[in-house]
Amino acid sequence: MAVGKETPEEAVVVEIFKPRNDTRTYRRIILPNSLQVLLISDPDTDKCAASMNVGVGSFSDPEGLEGLAHFLEHMLFYASEKYPLEDSYSTYISEHGGRTNAYTSSEHTNYYFDVNADCFEEALDRFAQFFIKPLMSADATTREIKAVDSENQKNLLADAWRINQLQKHLSAEGHPYHKFSTGNWDTLEVKPKARGVDTRDELLKFYKENYSANLMNLVVYSKENLDKIESSVLSKFQEIRNINRDHLRFPGQPCSSEHLQVIVKTVPIKTGHKLRITWPVTPGIHHYMEGPSRYLGHLIGHEGEGSLFYILKKLGWANSLSAGESDWTMDFSFFKVVIDLSDAGHANVKHIIGLLFKYILLLQQSGVCKWIFDELSAICEMTFHYQDKIPPIDYVVKCSSNMQLYPLKDWLVGSSLPSNFAPGIIQSMLNELTPNSVRIFWESTNFEGHTDLTEPWYGTAYSVEKISSSIIQEWMDKAPEEHLHLPSPNVFIPTDLSIKNVQVKVNLPVMLRKSLYSRLWYKPDTTFSTPKAYVKLDFYCPFGGNSPEANVLTDISIRLLMDYLNEYTYDAQVAGLYYAISHTDNGFQVTLTGYSHKLRILLETVIKKITTFEVKPDRFYVIKELVTKQYENFRFQQPYQQAMYYCSLLLKDQSWPWNDELEVLSVLEPEDLLKFYPQILSRTFIECYAAGNIESNEAELMIQHVENEFFKGSNPVSQALFPSQHLANRIVNLKKGVNYCYTKEGLNRSDDNSALLHYIQVHQDDFKLNIKLQLVALIAKQPAFHQLRSVEQLGYITVLMQRNDSGIRGVQFIIQSTVKGPKHIESRVQAFLQMFESKLYDMPDDEYKSNVNALIEMKLEKHKNLREESGYFWREIQDGTLKFDRKEYEVAALKQLTKAELIQFFDEYIKAGAPLKKALSVQVYAHAHSTENTPDCNMVNIEDVFSFRRSRPLYGSFKGGIGHVKL
């Protein structure tokens, strides 16, 4: 039960349905200006947050000003009448441990932030001014159009953006779904100017006509009690204008008959083939308690035996399949099935479409099954009531979005709890999935040169063919005779959700067990009281990554293991028990997380599959093809991602270049893996972490079982490591006083973006140096963004962030730009560091203390859920640092740190020309900026990655062996 308020004066009791384990309190109020607000009180929170959902989006863009709503979203961050200093809102949030962002969708725009609790009042006041009296100066307007254009440039070669716009393009021109929503320099500057239209005038007009309090929903999440939050919200937000704007509706379907019954062949950027089959359907939001799209998505997207994906995989035609509702509003929606195809699948697309329609026919003929709905409903209910607490910033965005769509009682639930079994409603949506209304988008690089049309915004090549229902019937008739059937009952749904009795209350992981073969760290749940557990096993296999061949073969074997297990484990994942086998630099990791009741059953199955692994040639070739495409598509990564890859390659000992691995991959056969797999496992050490709703003896029994499977018995698959094999994770130690430079042309010549990664390596993990580095990064983060992004407009992606490579700490600037090459960007980073020098030197004592306090609060922030806590402790285990109580020591060091010591640290390690500075500039240049590619005489140019790596000493590894002797 939550107390809601219809008006500030009159309280009304309103029930907001919430999870059983949710101790937060809620209240709905409506301000005199008709702003609807959800107040959330959480005395346990470290971060406070707010989200404003405005009921207007890109569908409302004026004709000829595509992207105006999105552009307005950017502009509101700049300044307001009350806080006129440019970027002061973002600066305040950043300096007080917070984050802020926004997004524009078709029918709403959402603004949100979080911040340390003691600074929330002022942050909320600054936020409120977005919607009261923002300043949108002419100068800022012109600059921020460049940022919108840079954001669009980043997306031009991204297949997800391209296919999304193509689907919109092939719709009715009179419907807003057809529009280009993000905007660019052309739509917001060039074309309006040519027509004599002033974009800033239009911006102000759009804001004035659309940003009305009655179209807004606010969520405020605070430590304070509900009365205090209400008083604060009333004082800060009641000045928002209310012009009683009607909620905009966009009735009608975006697709007329000419856009249905079509097969669209399109050429993606990345190598591969994908099939997207969509139907316009009645929006499921109107029947969210009956959950028709959830029911159909569950069955069509199922991966267990007898499912569509199971059959396609067995035939070697598909690598993945997903199904569900997407692109929906209150007025229209699409049901979408997306299939990632193998080469063989691409050659059999007609059969695949035939099988999909056969499965839909099976669902129609089977009728809607009550037991399937009940099972799904039970899983949804369990998921809702035992949901993990998430960061407040994510929670407020979710709630404010729900406020626009659902009645008050379901603001926290949304559509996540289907409970009304209504077979007629499900059958009705199922009947909409017909050949008469289908849209088929078929992506393949094989279509290059075989298309005749071009989408105008992204330049995507495509062609359109009409396709009749009789042709689809023919494909159904000719499809392979496979036994498609409905899933069996899910055996993984937990029935025991009790909380285990923890014998020893410990706040930090303890080592429960150590042997020649493994080491077990244990951390029972003393905080979250959920029936969930987290188990990670890191198999350190020296032969699993000691050459390009070993790396590729280990990768393929892990993918094959996941592939073999998929039908069995899919039900576990549906029931909230997740697992993954992931490739590491030195072997692989097995991770299990979710409800603890049946976790051990899943773990034992996974371990058995690893120890009895066999190579199935048909699946080997499918996985090899998939991996090959992923390597080939490396060249289509964004330039900043390429720069990050080169930086890791330069710094990490025993890392292999992607092109070496691609070369190896091309000649591999099943026999190679058959011979190699036993070698991967022949020597291994298992680092284990068990946390959550697990008793210590259970954890020990789990690991004992794993040891028995690997190392015991008449024919063990593994032996213990020799002491000489334990060393791992070594990082190159850059030379003091040297600026290194590594320059490469971007791998995709069609990409006009260049990128710079400027990395400053500082030290190996040390409490005092850590906090100095972190404090400099915190203080510099927002000024760097303001100068390099807002003022100089170098590019949309402009980031200053810390870097941690196996305990080796540093800081890095990452900037991507179409307007300037990396040499120029490098010079601007150096100029910024000189500018920042004076900011640091002249910083008032109260501002310094404020930053120190912000960092302390960030460090003391409590973990929200078991997964977050486990990830934090696992990092210590993985790096070998084992400083589980790091926060306390670093906070103590921060409290002692003086401004003079911070400046001394900056002068020695960070500032331009600092004597101890170790810098690496990784420069990826676009073809258009190739004239800039001349050696810099102030830098040591790295010609060859591996000669460089061999020439430099390595930092000692924290993982010095079972006894963990630091080298």
Question: Read out DSSP for 74-110?
Answer: HHTTTEESSS-STTHHHHHHHHTT-EEEEEE-SS-EE
Hey, what amino acid is at 661? E
Burial grade of 261 (CB within 10 A; 0-12, 13-18, 19 or more): buried
> Contact 91/780 with Cβ under 8 angstroms?
no
Q: Burial level of 194, CB count in 10 A (0-12/13-18/19+)?
A: exposed
Burial of 630 (0-12, 13-18, 19+ CB in 10 A): middle
| Consecutive H or E run containing 400 | helix 392-403
Residue 58 contacts by C-beta under 8 Å, 6 or more apart in sequence? 67, 69, 70, 104, 105, 106, 176, 179, 181, 182
Q: Nearest 5 degrees, angle CA 340-CA 321-CA 370?
A: 165
SS3 of residue 567 by DSSP: helix
Q: Which amino acid is at 892?
A: A
For every residue of 107-161, which 3-state class applies, written as one string? Answer: CCEEEEEEEEHHHHHHHHHHHHHHHCCEECCHHHHHHHHHHHHHHHHHHCCCHHH
Is-contact 454 166, C-beta < 8 A?
no
Is 869 a catalytic site residue? Answer: no
Could you give the CA distance from residue 464 to residue 731 in angstroms, rounded to a whole number? 52
The yes-or-no answer on residue 144 being catalytic is yes
Backbone dihedral angles phi then psi of residue 41, each to the nearest 5 degrees:
-105, 125
Which residue among 66, 86, 107, 144 is the active-site one? Answer: 144
Asked whether 441 and 276 are in contact (CB, 8 A), the reply is yes
Dmax over Cα atoms in the chain, in whole Å?
85
Contacts of 618 (CB under 8 A, 6+ apart): 316
φ and ψ at 953, to 5 degrees? -70, 160
The H or E element that residue 30 is part of is strand 25-30
- Assess contact for 818 and 925: CB atoms under 8 A: no
- State the catalytic residue, choosing from 66, 73, 151, 325: 73
Alpha carbon distances (Å) from 836 to 273, 776, 784, 939: 48, 10, 8, 22
Query: What amino acid positions are annotated as catalytic residues?
Result: 73, 144
